[in-house]
Structure 1
Amino acid sequence: MQPRHTYAVGDIHGHLDLLRGVHDLIDKDMARYGAGKVVHVGDLVDRGPDSRGVVGYLRQGLAQGQDWIVLKSNHDRLFTMFMDDPKASDPGLRPEYSWLHPKIGGSETLESYGVPNAADRPVAKVHADALERVPQEDLDFLASRPAWHRVDGVIFVHAGVRPGLPIAEQAENDLLWIRKGFLDHADPFEALIVHGHTAINAPTHYGNRVNIDSSAAYGGPLSAIVIEGADVFHLTIKGRVPLRPESQ
């Protein structure tokens, strides 16, 4: 039997404590309404204090049979690209930045793996230290994540979609990085799009999409929503709060 509802968790950015708290809310909701799939829209790593803990928590949960989906994101791909080749450049990243730039947060990720001061040392030395300390299973896990997931009339993705293209034809770079052309698109997509990537204050329903990145990377909360049929709810300590469409 298919679950009647699906949960989605926003951009985590190395905040294991917030992730555990959100899963506690989901567990309480499931105890009341029944089991459901949980989709995490990516950005497991960077900026926060415990990226390694977040990756391990989700990787182990899936290995134990949890009904979870963990999607690929731009930050997670930046991590694996650096580990493969520290000179590689992600096409979605502005050329003046690298993964170790303070605004991107790769240094904090490596710190959680025991590689200190990554932004202040020669890249070759940092990379050599990272190869010794970052478990290959974590990198394999991140690299193998799907870029999107669909449940009936809802598509879950990290950043968004290119309007006019079916989800199966979308380029991964758009799914992980897109803003322009997606955020300002007012017409319906092929399904309701649930995404993160663009930090806002609280989960917001725009009619054709729902943004659930509530700025955990910048000191905000980590948010979860639950979708049941055509209804969307913000999951809070007080339970489900209806999330109704707002105008663009």
Structure 2
Amino acid sequence: MIRGIFDFLRGSRTPPVVPPRQKLFFDEAPDHIYAIGDVHGCDDTLGRLEDLIFEDSRKRDGTKWLVMLGDYVDRGPKSASVMDRLTSRPRADIKRICLAGNHEDVMLDFFQNPSADHRWLDFGGLETLYSYGLHKIPSNRRVLKNALLSHFPDEHLTFLETLPSLLSVPGYCFVHAGIRDGVALADQDDADLLWLRPEEDKKNVATSEFVTVHGHTPVSDVEIGTGRINLDTGAFMSGILSAVRLSGRNEPEIIQCG
């Protein structure tokens, strides 16, 4: 299935060999973790959700992390603004960790291979181009790539290239899409972490060792199930961006903004 997606996006050619993304493992968890689902260019909503999270965090003692679960670009109207926000320091005493989503991978793939039959623009990329100030889209894809790069800050490209694919702390694993059952976290394939759907591997996020917090598969309401939490509430369609606060042994608390 995952290979089929790449075939669709890249005209059935074999994807290039790219270095694996970093996976982050921590022996200790912070006192509070806030995780945010798929943003997809909805910067205004993200700003309001951050306000709620920062207000909540000021009421709580201890260390705090903000984990972004990927898919910052495409589909929504303000991908460039989202990238500006995420490449700047957060406005509160909180550590922010951003993970890679499949849309970041597809955008990078276009930069590496701007072929005439690449489908990034049909995958939400057109809205991203508009957000970077490109409204006249050249038909030649290599000309388009160069035009985009001329509008694309270096720190945005570095950000895309260096996003980790997994974050693990005691009790929780954070990824964009899902994990493959029976595979150690250190050995998980980036393609699975960024593209896997829960229905493709029924056990892919069910484990007694930790809860997997992910996005990627849109749901009408945040799903808190056995071994997993799905935070993708389709912000670019529904207008609702969702987050969860995880505080020690307390029950997960949902924070939403629409």
Q: Classify the TM-score, shorter chain.
A: 0.7 to 0.9
What residue is the counterpart of 2:183 in the other structure? 165
The whole-number CA distance in structure 2 between the counterparts of 1:200 and 1:86 is 32
Structure 2 letter corresponding to 1:28: E
Residue 12 of structure 1, aligned match among 39, 42, 45:
39
| Larger RCO, structure (CA 8 Å, separation 6 or more) | 2
User: Counterpart in 1 of 2:52?
Assistant: 25
Deviation for aligned residue 1:124: 3.0
- Give, in whole Å, the separation in 2 of the partners of 1:185 and 1:39: 21
1:38 pairs, out of 62, 66, 73, with 66
User: Quick one: structure 1 residues 47 and 196, their matched pair in 2 at CA, closer, same or farther if it must change by over 3 Å?
Assistant: same
TM-score, length-scaled by structure 2? 0.80
CA contact (8 A) 1:115 1:126 kept: no
- Matches of 1:115 and 1:170 in 2, distance apart? 37
When residues 189 and 158 of structure 1 are mapped into structure 2, their CA distance, relative to the original with a 3 A threshold, is farther
1:233 aligns to what?
A: 253
CA change 1:183–1:41 in 2 (3 A) is farther
Report the counterpart of residue 240 of structure 1 in structure 2: none
In 2, Cα distance between the equivalents of 1:110 and 1:189? 43
Go from structure 1 to structure 2 and tell me whether the alpha carbon gap of 1:186 and 1:83 turns closer, same or farther (over 3 Å shift).
closer
Cα distance in structure 2, aligned partners of 1:2 and 1:76? 27
1:198 aligns with 2:225: no
SS at structure 2 position matched to 1:201: coil
The answer to which of 178-187 and 107-116 deviates more is: 178-187
Deviates more, 1:29-38 or 1:12-21: 29-38
Residue segments in structure 2 that go unaligned for 5+ positions in a row: 1-27
TM-score, structure 1 normalization:
0.83
Q: 1:213-232 residue pairs with structure 2 within 5 A?
A: 213-230=232-249, 231-232=251-252
Label 1:84 to 1:66 Cα distance change in 2 as closer, same or farther (>3 A). farther
Q: In the alignment, which residue of structure 1 is the partner of 2:127?
A: 108
**2:40/2:79 contact within 8 Å kept:** yes
How far apart, in 1, do the equivalents of 2:125 and 2:90 lie? Answer: 24
The corresponding residue for 2:154 is 136
Alpha-carbon separation, structure 2, partners of 1:58 and 1:186: 27
The alpha-carbon deviation at position 80 of structure 1 amounts to 1.6
* 1:7-56 Cα shifts (integer Å, max 9, x gaps): 10000001111111111111111122235101000001000111111011
CA contact (8 A) 1:225 1:235 kept: yes
Structure 2 partner of 1:243: none
Report the AA paired with residue 136 of structure 1: D
Tell me what 1:246 maps to: none
Q: CA RMSD in A?
A: 2.5
SS at match of 1:149: strand
Residue correspondence of structure 1 range 71-150 to structure 2 within 5 A:
71-87=99-115, 98-101=119-122, 104-118=123-137, 121-150=139-168
CA distance in 1, matches of 2:170, 2:205: 21
Structure 1 ranges of 4+ moved more than 6 A: 62-65
SS in 2 for 1:205: strand
Give, in angstroms, the shift of residue 219 of structure 1: 3.0
Gaps of 5+ in 1: 89-95, 238-248
Name the structure 1 match of 2:10: none
Percent identity for Structure 1 against Structure 2:
35
Query: Out of 44, 63, 70, which is 2:98 matched to?
Result: 70
- Give, as a single letter, the amino acid of the residue that structure 2 aligns with 1:235: I
**1:152 equivalenced with 2:179 (yes/no):** no
1:117-161 residue CA offsets vs partner (Å, 9 max, x unmatched):
54x833233223112211222011111011011121100000000
The aligned residue for residue 241 of structure 1 is none
* Paired residues of 2:38 and 2:216 also in contact (CA < 8 A): yes
Bigger Cα displacement from structure 2, 5-14 vs 134-143: 134-143
Taking structure 1 as reference, are residues 150 and 184 closer, same or farther at Cα in structure 2, changes over 3 Å only?
A: closer
